[in-house]
Structure 1
Amino acid sequence: MMRLVTVLSLALYYLSTPGVQRVSARSVSLLFENDGDWENLDNRTSALLFYDPETLDDAFQVCQGFDETLFNNENLSDIWNKLSYLKYQGVFNEHTKFWVASESNDGGSVLAPFTSMSSTSNVNADDSQKLPFICSNSAPLTSQVNTDFPSLPKTNVTSNEIVFTGVRDHLTFRFMGVPYASPPTASLRFRYPEPWKGTYVNATGFQSACLQFGSFANNDAGLNPWGVSENCLFLNIYTSYLPSSPSKAAPLRPVLFWIHGGGNLNGMGSDETFDGGPLVSRGDVVLVTINYRLNIFGFLGLNTSDSAIPGNFAMADKIAALHWVQEHIADFGGDPEKVTIFGQSAGGWSIVDLLKSPKASGLFHAAISQSGGSGTFTTAEAVYEMVEPYLTPLCDLKQQTGTELLQCLQALPAEVLLNITNFAGSWSTVLDGVYALDSAVNQMALGPDAVNSVPFMLGFMPEEGQSLLGSTISPNATDFEQSLLNTLGSTLAQDVLQSGLWTINEDFDVYNATIIAYTDWFLTCPAENMIAAASKSTAFPAMYIYSMQHAYGLSFYDPFDLCTFPVGDPQPYYRCHSGDLYEVFGTYHIFSQPLRIPADISYTDLVQDIWTAFARTGDPNPDLADLAARGPAYQSTLRLLQDTKWVWPKYDEVSMQIASLEYPELMTIRGLPDDLNGRCAVITAGS
């Protein structure tokens, strides 16, 4: 059969690249040019690129199988830079042609002239001619928390004889609610995770978060329509590339493995703040987000004679998820040899834990801790003292053996155990000699052989304590001593007052001074002690330290509405704890956040370009040639770096250079926050 069709030829300026890299049948990329303008994401064209050559009839059938049509050439300029970048990577060359369609032909197969960047021609093609082809992507943008994900177009991936059914939206392929371990219930409660066994996963929607209290325990705040359960060990995968055979496909993408925060008490990987669409579509990466056991379920560790309840179940969950990534992620387009772990707040604590843990050796290749301090730790003896008053009436801690105690705890209703979280103190990693050996400062001081030595990036928000303190103190507070007593305790409060380093004046009032002192105590100074130890011992091949000067407070985590500024009015505001999350993930649109000033877009682009550059190479400095090859959507970052000639240096104990991140005031400064001025010395001595 003869048919009049349209052929698109990549007649671009020649770039020195390898020859055509063949890709296997049905390998597909979702093409979307993300310039960071979150208010117009749904107005931009999205497409599906199929790499393996097919006849025209087969191309039509494949598109129809995805509930799509052959892509209209009139919209090719919208995705041209994505095709050009694939050529830059060596996937295609200047001779590559694609099947596309034109509205000018009733059959939808004839191309009209394209642009000066390419050439198009109408040819008679029979069934023997095979070309790569492009389909439309009409799937909607994920733009709200309570999205009906199972109604989205489906897609399947097979990995190690397991079939995963996921969905496709406007920006990515999504596989949600993937079990990475067996449910930690009944006889598996307070046990290390065991492998999940099955042959099919319906990954078309999020699954339950782990048991907890707070904002995610129900859907009162509109944040968690999926509920909570003890059966919660799920992960979520966002990718723009699905190879049918990793050994023959286009280049695998770097993997970013996200660990949520929440004080080890609450949070979930399906928090739509961490939706992967914007970050994946801009950064050309694969994102994995996870749940892990929280509070008593993840952190109960008791020093019994038979080690029946050793603790660190939450850390074991994270490590089990990393093992899952090593086993399966290549089938979702991710490179298991380029896994970057990153997390914020308690997720940052987790990053520190994994850097120290011998159990995590070889499972990741770079790490980012956002506002994670130096992690937290405790002992089994301290945990026992904390929980004994609450557990003894339920299961006799003093009379039972460890095994008997475990069986008793496993038989209790989950809600009974969860209620203990309301009365007990904080939950931390237990120094057990297996998963956790020592404090971060002590262990990193021993050098690279004592840690998982990979490139390490970490940093701060200037006023973390504002959102962390919530309503503990009022912005109108006038009594500095009382404010410190309420937040730091009597001993450290007196040390801070007597030092004279937090002097109250017109520009530094009681509220501001208390926020900074609390920030220093809770996060900044512990992190700086860890940085100093790691730098002196060269524990890591490279450390990069930052301070974010631009922030956008989360809509549901902004005490007194001070963590942002009005639209069009960039007056002074607090750069709060969690004020970096919208920038890293670009999920403003899901929470209906307005564009305040144009720099919000440029700064978000810059942060995402830095984070994904680090995931790609272990160096946060974006490659300028790579940015140029990606096209106009990356020009704001490219121009800034070219104009300023800014380079983020590795941190060392002599130069002490850190990045001050803002747009366009991108700088490198000397000294860690509140280190050179002596405040951290006061905090450390009094803690």
Structure 2
Amino acid sequence: MLTCAVPTTLGPVIGAEQGHVRAFKGVPFAMARRFAKATPPLAWTEPRRCTDYGPYAPQPGQLDQPEDSCLSLNIWTPVGADGPLPVLFFIHGGAFVTGGGADYDGTFLAAHGPAVIVTINYRLGPLGFLQLHRHGLSEADNLAISDALAALDWVHANIANFGGDPDQVTLSGQSAGASMVIALATLPQARGKFTRALALSAPGRNIMSADHADHIARRVLAELEIEQDPSAIASVPLPNLFAAVERVGRRIADETEAGTVFGPVLDGSVIPREPRDVFADGTLRDVELWLGSCRDEMVMFLKSTPPAAMIRTSERNLRVAFGDAGWERLLACYRGSVRPDENPYEALLSDAFWHRPMADLARSHAEAGGAVWLSRFDHRPALEPFLSQGPTHGADNACLWAHLPDFIDRPILKRKGGPMMPADIDVAARFQTSLLRFVTSGMPDVAEAWPRFEPHRESLAIFGQPFQVVPLNEGARSRLWAELSA
């Protein structure tokens, strides 16, 4: 059933009712030529039908998507709810190279909030993250971040027409999307356009140096054999461009300390300051922050074929930081305190790459006077790959977007959903309720059930059966980390 036209700054749009929710899909918020900054699309006067997801960004295995029209967003808003409603603005993950907003159907969350749910597309891989500004080939670096800013600007200007409150926007994201949230939250351009932030499974290194990004760009130009004519990259066929990036990426993992190819870049312009420094100096003390991770983050990457590059990079960086002797002490400690179903090597790298950086960011925000909550997702969803791999990377995300009593399909990533078990429903319901409380009030739970993370009381919420809150730093592992880091 089609809805009535809703006005926007670009023109009216028509969505469709899905039960008690109205959905507007594929709403264009910007357009962009290759390696150019996003600009507003052409306005329209006749109502535009927005009932199907728009094209998503070209990505490996799916390079037939149009480059210039992938910048769209999707909105779910409850029918008949008293407004204005809080808004969840979600940035998808996918290692900065895959995914899209269509993998996250916000119908269930919108109805149960009630809240307005927004998911966005942004440019991926070399189209969004290859930094060519030093070569005079792009108007700016951090094009994907600029895409997200353009989407946030659109939401701030238009979401009231969809029942949302532009003064109650929560930035949220998972994995690569969480890295983008952490960077986006610190930007002067985003100030006043959001009130709180949720970052799930942000990698330990949330920002890339400009020199490393330039090194990647030079390597890609060399791989394409166009170092002498860098402007030729604008017309390189997408399969050739993405293949060159993949070859460079395989070598970079073993040759550089960062080991990564793409991500937000400290370019001094779009991102002028290290995001963690901005949190630490109190600039964002008025922003409520929820940081989360999954217990066995690294299992998925350890079991990939071949094991993901971050495995080698994480071990190498720990050996550099603490020496081979320190590394062996850590590994011995984890082996000596292993759970029955735990891989000590994986647990060590999960702590180093995921859990400890999240705790450090929480600590910085709390010490600067900000309100922050820290969580870990320990539940194993009855859905692959989690059924066989445990609560690894993305387990929380699968439950967050579930339409209870079912997991949803992920069409872009080609992952099927399915029925949930009673334990899945129990944990997912608690997780979703916490999210919607956070979006609405800035607190994921009442203080007695889940106290905020504070310098004198570092609380960690565990989403499992049962839900519990425990002190963050306890046991031999924490004591050894503290000793080695002193």
TM superposition score normalised by structure 2: 0.84
Deviation at residue 508 of structure 1 after TM alignment: 5.0
Q: Please, which runs of 5 or more residues in structure 1 have no aligned partner?
A: 1-151, 219-226, 244-249, 475-482, 564-573, 623-644
Given that residues 73 and 120 in structure 2 are in contact (C-alpha distance below 8 angstroms), is that contact kept between their aligned partners in structure 1? yes
Given that residues 261 and 347 in structure 1 are in contact (C-alpha distance below 8 angstroms), is that contact kept between their aligned partners in structure 2? yes
Larger radius of gyration: 1
1:562 and 2:388 aligned: yes
1:299 and 2:106 aligned: no
Q: How does 1:232-271 map to 2 (within 5 A)?
A: 232-241=70-79, 250-271=82-103
Secondary structure of 2:298's match? helix
Q: Distance in 2 between matches of 1:452 and 1:300?
A: 32
1:524 and 2:361 aligned: no
Name the structure 1 match of 2:219: 389
1:191 and 2:36 aligned: yes
Name the structure 1 match of 2:120: 290
Q: How does 1:439-450 map to 2 (within 5 A)?
A: 439-448=274-283
Cα deviation digits, residues 207-228 of structure 1 (max 9, x gap): 22111115xx38xxxxxxxx63
Name the structure 1 match of 2:254: none
Deviation at residue 551 of structure 1 after TM alignment: 3.8
Given that residues 235 and 291 in structure 1 are in contact (C-alpha distance below 8 angstroms), is that contact kept between their aligned partners in structure 2? yes
Aligned counterpart for 2:376 among listed residues 544, 547, 565: 547
Given that residues 496 and 683 in structure 1 are in contact (C-alpha distance below 8 angstroms), is that contact kept between their aligned partners in structure 2? no
1:678 and 2:479 aligned: yes
Q: How does 1:580-591 map to 2 (within 5 A)?
A: 580-587=396-403, 588-590=406-408, 591=416
Q: Distance in 1 between matches of 2:337 and 2:268?
A: 48
**Counterpart residue identity of residue 212, structure 1:** Q
Q: Distance in 1 between matches of 2:314 and 2:281?
A: 33
Given that residues 211 and 418 in structure 1 are in contact (C-alpha distance below 8 angstroms), is that contact kept between their aligned partners in structure 2? no
Deviation at residue 414 of structure 1 after TM alignment: 3.1
Q: Distance in 2 between matches of 1:168 and 1:440?
A: 40
Q: Distance in 2 between matches of 1:159 and 1:675?
A: 57
Q: Distance in 2 between matches of 1:161 and 1:210?
A: 22
Moved more, 483-492 or 322-331: 483-492
Distance 1:291 1:452, change over 3 A: farther
Distance 1:228 1:674, change over 3 A: farther
Moved more, 652-661 or 599-608: 599-608
Distance 1:441 1:684, change over 3 A: farther
Given that residues 355 and 452 in structure 1 are in contact (C-alpha distance below 8 angstroms), is that contact kept between their aligned partners in structure 2? no
Q: Distance in 2 between matches of 1:683 and 1:291?
A: 41
1:176 and 2:33 aligned: no
Q: Distance in 2 between matches of 1:260 and 1:617?
A: 23
Given that residues 356 and 452 in structure 1 are in contact (C-alpha distance below 8 angstroms), is that contact kept between their aligned partners in structure 2? no
Q: Distance in 2 between matches of 1:240 and 1:309?
A: 39
Q: Distance in 2 between matches of 1:554 and 1:417?
A: 34
Aligned counterpart for 2:391 among listed residues 554, 568, 575: 575
Name the structure 2 match of 1:213: 60
Q: Distance in 1 between matches of 2:476 and 2:267?
A: 32
Deviation at residue 438 of structure 1 after TM alignment: 3.5
**Counterpart residue identity of residue 194, structure 1:** T
Give the CA RMSD over aligned residues: 3.1
Name the structure 1 match of 2:453: 651
Secondary structure of 2:154's match? helix
Q: Distance in 2 between matches of 1:192 and 1:206?
A: 23
Q: Distance in 2 between matches of 1:596 and 1:460?
A: 22
Distance 1:619 1:390, change over 3 A: closer
Q: How does 1:126-141 map to 2 (within 5 A)?
A: none
Given that residues 395 and 409 in structure 1 are in contact (C-alpha distance below 8 angstroms), is that contact kept between their aligned partners in structure 2? no
Deviation at residue 525 of structure 1 after TM alignment: 1.7
Percent of aligned pairs sharing the same letter: 26
Distance 1:288 1:506, change over 3 A: closer
Cα deviation digits, residues 13-49 of structure 1 (max 9, x gap): xxxxxxxxxxxxxxxxxxxxxxxxxxxxxxxxxxxxx
**Counterpart residue identity of residue 462, structure 2:** S
Q: Distance in 2 between matches of 1:363 and 1:473?
A: 42
Q: How does 1:120-519 map to 2 (within 5 A)?
A: 153-160=2-9, 162-182=11-31, 184-185=32-33, 189-199=34-44, 200-213=47-60, 217=62, 228-230=65-67, 231-241=69-79, 250-271=82-103, 274-302=104-132, 304=134, 308=138, 310-392=140-222, 394=224, 396-397=226-227, 405=230, 407-425=231-249, 426-448=261-283, 451=284, 453-471=286-304, 488-489=315-316, 491=319, 494=324, 495-499=326-330, 500-504=332-336, 507=339, 512-519=343-350
Cα deviation digits, residues 618-673 of structure 1 (max 9, x gap): 11126xxxxxxxxxxxxxxxxxxxxxx9432121111112222334x232211158
Q: Please, which runs of 5 or more residues in structure 2 have no aligned partner?
A: 250-260, 409-415
Cα deviation digits, residues 542-571 of structure 1 (max 9, x gap): 11111223242653x44xx424xxxxxxxx
Matched residue pairs, number? 456
Q: Distance in 1 between matches of 2:311 and 2:169?
A: 41
Secondary structure of 2:7's match? strand
Given that residues 373 and 523 in structure 1 are in contact (C-alpha distance below 8 angstroms), is that contact kept between their aligned partners in structure 2? yes
Q: Distance in 2 between matches of 1:445 and 1:678?
A: 24
Distance 1:334 1:439, change over 3 A: same
TM superposition score normalised by structure 1: 0.61
Distance 1:550 1:155, change over 3 A: farther
Distance 1:159 1:262, change over 3 A: same
Given that residues 520 and 683 in structure 1 are in contact (C-alpha distance below 8 angstroms), is that contact kept between their aligned partners in structure 2? no
Given that residues 544 and 650 in structure 1 are in contact (C-alpha distance below 8 angstroms), is that contact kept between their aligned partners in structure 2? yes
Given that residues 374 and 441 in structure 1 are in contact (C-alpha distance below 8 angstroms), is that contact kept between their aligned partners in structure 2? no
Cα deviation digits, residues 415-462 of structure 1 (max 9, x gap): 3322222123320211111222333433322222xx484100111211
Given that residues 72 and 121 in structure 2 are in contact (C-alpha distance below 8 angstroms), is that contact kept between their aligned partners in structure 1? yes
Q: Distance in 2 between matches of 1:470 and 1:263?
A: 16
Secondary structure of 2:179's match? helix
Distance 1:208 1:606, change over 3 A: same
Distance 1:171 1:464, change over 3 A: farther
Deviation at residue 531 of structure 1 after TM alignment: 2.2
Name the structure 1 match of 2:419: 594
